[in-house]
A and B are shown apart, each in its own frame.
Chain A
Amino acid sequence: DADVTQTPRNRITKTGKRIMLECSQTKGHDRMYWYRQDPGLGLRLIYYSFDVKDINKGEISDGYSVSRQAQAKFSLSLESAIPNQTALYFCATQGGANVLTFGAGSRLTVL
Chain B
Amino acid sequence: RKEVEQDPGPFNVPEGATVAFNCTYSNSASQSFFWYRQDCRKEPKLLMSVYSSGNEDGRFTAQLNRASQYISLLIRDSKLSDSATYLCVVNSIGAGGTSYGKLTFGQGTILTVHP
Contact = CB atoms under 8 A, between A and B. Distances in A.
> Which secondary structure characterizes the binding site on chain B?
strand
A49 to B, nearest CB: 11
> Which secondary structure characterizes the binding site on chain A?
strand
Interface residues of B, number: 24
Contact of A45 (B87, B102, B106, B107): B102
Interface in B16-73: 32, 34, 36, 41-46, 49
B32 A42 contact: no
A42 B91 contact: no
Contacts of A35: 105
Interface stretch (A13-21, A77-85, A100-108): A100-108
- A interface, how many residues as a size bin? 20 to 34
A98 B87 contact: no
Contact of B34 (A43, A58, A99, A102): A99
Given A98-B101, A100-B46, A104-B43, A43 B91 contact: no
Nearest 6 Cβ contacts at the A-B interface:
A42-B107, A102-B43, A43-B105, A42-B105, A98-B32, A98-B101
Interface of A: 31, 33, 35, 40-45, 48, 50, 58, 88, 90, 94, 97-100, 102-105
